[in-house]
Amino acid sequence: MKPRTAVVAGALAALLVVSVAVYFAASVSILGAPDDFGPANTSWNGLSTFVADEHATILHNLTALPPDGTGYTLLEDGPSSPYSPAEAVRVSSFVRSGGTLILADGQDAIGNTLLAGMGLSSRFSGAVLVDPLFNFLNSFLVVAPTNSMHNVSSIAFNYATTLSVSDPGAQVLAYSSDFSYLYPTQPGGSISGSPHGPFPMVAQIPDGKGTVYLIADDSVFINSMIGRDGNANMLSDMATGTVLLDTSHFSVGPATIVRDFELSVYSVLSLWEIKYSIVIVGVAGVLAYRLGPDSPPADDEVESALREHPEWDREKLRKLKDELG
């Protein structure tokens, strides 16, 4: 490839990269990041409504957690990976200094690793709760009545579990009904022999200067559930000050990875230094192509041949070049 052609090709390639980055970043709906609990996920299983309503700040790592939790609320929702001892200590310090922690978990009960690391004894059972009477649509979508929360008469759950509450000073804010029971998950399990309710579903635990709220369902604040019953009001009662959403324990899928990469590239290429540099390179490439010689002079080609073959006759080479045009 000729040098000036290579310059033009490089400039056009750079402009194409910018155009593609701008297109994808401006059209994030194409890469909607459908991961469970994704803050940018606008589908039924995302947290986009929660993020918008609470003006939540996204934390990609718990090292970004403020050391003084006063005036902050941290939501840990549906964790898919265990918490390290260092992370648990960091969250514990955040709460005990005056912060609020809302830990919502389901059947995986991974949130128990955080509770253990914080020195709390309450736990998520991991069992599946059903209620044939107090529910919406089906018995796995349980509705739990409550008289212990401000402006909240009932809470809607989606394949919830139950709590075991044993910390000093802890208060159960919502119980499932007397008709609820734990759905047998073992082969040959008998429904008639399953434990029956009421079971603790929401609890409040004092911890130092702060408060820990446990919710026995990781789906209460997703887009399809936050508007049901008193779920939104429960969130308003619990969340104080600046709301932080930790995403470091979410399961991230390919769509989110690609989308985050596109947005990162776009943020870099949006810098005016980068944009104008690319434009200058493009203009220079076009000028080089327009103003540069179309081909090397004939004498240059003859001289180049003579350098490789000094025994050849210069005049004959020039005549041959002229005859070939």
Residue 319 has phi, psi (to 5 degrees) of -65, -40
pLDDT, tens digit, for every residue of 291-310? 655 555 545 677 777 777 77
Q: What is the mean pLDDT of residues 128-132?
A: 95
* pTM listed for this prediction: 0.70
Is 250 within 8 Å of 78 (Cβ atoms)?
yes
For the domain spanning 36-250, the CATH number is: 3.40.50
pLDDT, tens digit, for every residue of 163-212? 999 999 999 999 999 999 998 765 444 455 678 899 999 999 999 999 99
Is 232 within 8 Å of 155 (Cβ atoms)?
no
